[in-house]
Amino acid sequence: MELEAFVTVAEELHFGRAAARLHRGQPTVSDAIRRLESSLGGRLFHRTSRRVSLTGLGEALLPDAHATLAQLRRFQQRGRSLAAGEQARTTLVVAHAEYTGQQLLLRCLPQLRDLFPDMTIVPESMPTTAQLTALRAETIGLGIGWATGDVTGVRARVLSTERFMALVPAAHPLAGHAELSASELSTSDLLTWPHQINSGLCDRLLAAFHIGGADLRIIRTADSVNAIAAHVAAGTGIGIAVESALDHQPPGLRIIPLTGPSTSVDQVVLTPAEPSDAATALRDLLLHTSAGPSSFGPPSPAEETLPIRR
């Protein structure tokens, strides 16, 4: 309970919302966090009456907590299968970061199931930094995330290069622009993803504004594109998302690409240094499918451990 509470509060940055997600009372979640902090000998969150944020200790431990939970879920699933008298089945845990193009994964998983009918496939939502930790510990078999600097011991292939997109109310003065630069958004109140969910995306966006000599004013974060769109529609500010996460045109909003240096980011597929046959097959399916309908040949077998750009 303690680890699950820690991860959920870290994602929500709100004890009430975390308790609702866990279907527990808020005092139960608060007690779980206090027990975990006591066992670790340090605070995981800064807490005030208005704001919850991760401490340095919390930031450092969050990827390990994600990886440990993924391993625990795999252990529980295998245990239930064995207790039910089923033969032991190989499990592939597939992690995906928020805002990645999950439609791509949905198209590939049925094909993987056809190739490996006796395998249990377990999708897990997990930030990119946590995926790297879990891949090194071999608690997940494959991840889909965002480009980041440290991929030591992990193989990475670029699935797509995604542009940052602005979600602008149709009546906003900027709504008529074909593209928007960081300087044009410098005085705007912006809504985007929480840093603890996608630190790589936040760092890339910060770089775009820094290079453009602009002020990045993020006034609110939300853990889904639909939530960002709702705040934009309510007049809170201008939303920032990535192209692959926008699978439809939100009503009443314009979607406008950002232009300038660092206004795009690579979506990557991540595997361990020695991936399993199933992980390799899924990676190749993802690469082939992401290449688009005009590509009918198998993906290139060339493997690269990226120095992924930042």
- DSSP per-residue letters across 214-245: ----EEEE-SSHHHHHHHHHTTS-EEEEEGGG
Rounded Cα distance between 228 and 192, Å, is 7
User: For residue 38, what are the contacts with CB-CB under 8 A and spacing of at least 6?
Assistant: none
More confident of the two residues 279 and 79: 279
Q: pLDDT confidence of 78, banded at 50, 70, 90?
A: low
Does the pTM of the predicted model rise above 0.75? no
pLDDT of residue 299: 36
pLDDT of residue 305: 40
Which tokens in the block code for residue 199?
A: 């630190």
185-228 tens-digit pLDDT: 988 899 888 776 666 778 888 888 888 888 888 888 776 788 88
pLDDT of residue 239: 92
Angle between helices 15-22 and 26-40 (to 10 degrees): 100
For 266, the enclosing helix (H) or strand (E) is strand 264-272
218-267 tens-digit pLDDT: 888 776 788 888 899 998 999 998 887 787 778 889 999 999 998 998 99
More confident of the two residues 33 and 147: 33
DSSP state of 47: E
Q: pLDDT confidence of 70, banded at 50, 70, 90?
A: confident
Average pLDDT over residues 17-35: 88
Q: Which of 65-69, 84-88, 135-139, 199-203 has the lowest mean pLDDT?
A: 84-88
Which tokens in the block code for residue 105?
A: 């994964």
By three-state DSSP, how is residue 154 classified? strand
Residues in the chain: 310
Percentage of residues in the chain having pLDDT higher than 90: 29
80-94 tens-digit pLDDT: 766 766 555 678 999
pLDDT of residue 306: 43
Average pLDDT over residues 278-292: 90
Average pLDDT over residues 270-293: 89
**Which spans in 43-143 are helix H?**
56-83, 102-115, 128-136
pLDDT of residue 103: 80
